[in-house]
Amino acid sequence: MSTRDDVRRYPGFGPFSVIFFAYLYLPIAVVVFYSFNANRIVSNWGGFSLHWYTTALSNANLLTAVKTSLLVAAVATVASTLVALMAALVLVRGRNVRFRRISETVVNLPLLLPEIVVAVAVLILFSEVGLANGMAKLMIAHTTFCIPFAFLPIRARLQGMDLDLEEAARDLYATGWVAFRRVTLPLILPGVFAGAMLAFVISMDDFITSNLLNSGGATTLPVYIFSLIKQGVSPQLNAISTLIMVVSVVLATAAFLLQRRQ
């Protein structure tokens, strides 16, 4: 890159970058810092302590909410990724698919509508059919709005794949399933993995739908954290947030290293 194109030479770019990253990460640093506060009042520093981490990890309600979120996110990730993969294969590889644009719009509809509209619609539907199981309602609802998030990376990967590879496999007498398993799937696997990770994060982070469908024994982690906020911010909430950030960074780093190795 020539010196003329070096963005570091733009006037004010350096200070703007510092201000931007400070605005982005300084609140996170404050949350992490005060999670080690021994004082019960968040804004008053009372010394270093791991008490709130111990309290959070021994909180039975918190652990139950984490288990619920992980279970719902795991089921929604697997189901939405499979549906998104099949939809992408049909819409990208299908030669004579009728109403292709309409079908893509239907798949991506949860992205086009406000989440509160989708949540209310799902709530009304479950009330009409008489579905009372809280976990089942969460799994179905999360799968529904996670499908487009998994669909977009998979479709992009399929569109960038060379069709000659599949045709070469078929010329070598490979069946459709063998060509998909040995040629197509390995090539689009990064897109499938990215879509699955995106669906998992969206499911774990969802609050609006989970809050509307919340029932006994089906409280997710975001809903539980919101209930803690209504009681007032405490160092325990900071500790929970810090643990979530640590887990997210570890998962993101592992995914990055795995993709890089592949």
Q: What is the pLDDT of residue 83?
A: 94
Q: What is the pLDDT of residue 146?
A: 92
Tally of domains in the chain: 2
Between 260 and 136, where is the model more confident?
A: 136
Q: Are residues 42 and 67 in the same domain?
A: no
Q: Are residues 22 and 118 in the same domain?
A: no
Which one of 30, 52, 74 terminates a domain? 52
Domain hosting residue 227, numbered range: 59-261
What does pLDDT average to over the chain? 83
Q: Are residues 39 and 75 in the same domain?
A: no
Share of the chain above pLDDT 70, in %: 92
Angstrom distances, CA of residue 120 to CA of 35, 217, 260:
36, 21, 41
pTM: 0.81
Q: Are residues 47 and 66 in the same domain?
A: no
Rounded CA gap, 200 and 100, in Å? 27
Q: Are residues 192 and 125 in the same domain?
A: yes
Decide: 123 and 213 in contact? Cβ < 8 Å: yes
Q: Are residues 162 and 198 in the same domain?
A: yes
CA 61 to chain centre: 23
Decide: 35 and 53 in contact? Cβ < 8 Å: yes
Measured at the CA of 56, the angle between CA 54 and CA 59, to 5 degrees, comes to 110
Task: Say if residue 2's pLDDT is above 60.
Answer: no
Report the CATH number at residue 87. 1.10.3720.10
Q: Are residues 123 and 227 in the same domain?
A: yes
Residue 143's pLDDT band, with cuts at 50, 70 and 90, is very high
Decide: 145 and 115 in contact? Cβ < 8 Å: yes
Q: Are residues 100 and 46 in the same domain?
A: no
Task: Say if residue 123's pLDDT is above 60.
Answer: yes
Q: Are residues 72 and 16 in the same domain?
A: no
Average of per-residue pLDDT across 246-262: 72
Q: Are residues 107 and 230 in the same domain?
A: yes
Other beta carbons within 10 angstroms of residue 35's beta carbon come to: 23
Q: Are residues 121 and 179 in the same domain?
A: yes
Residue 11's pLDDT band, with cuts at 50, 70 and 90, is confident
Residue 77's pLDDT band, with cuts at 50, 70 and 90, is very high
Task: Say if residue 79's pLDDT is above 90.
Answer: yes
Could you give the residue ranges of the DSSP H alpha helices within 42-184? 51-57, 60-93, 100-107, 109-112, 115-129, 134-159, 163-171, 176-179
Q: What is the pLDDT of residue 142?
A: 92
Helix 60-93 / helix 100-107 crossing angle, nearest 10 deg:
170
Beta bridge partners of 48: 37
Angstrom distances, CA of residue 112 to CA of 38, 106, 142, 202, 260:
45, 10, 16, 15, 33
Q: Are residues 7 and 37 in the same domain?
A: yes
Angstrom distances, CA of residue 195 to CA of 51, 81, 95, 105, 190:
38, 7, 24, 18, 9
Conformation bin of residue 45: beta by default, left when phi > 0, alpha when psi is -120 to 50: beta
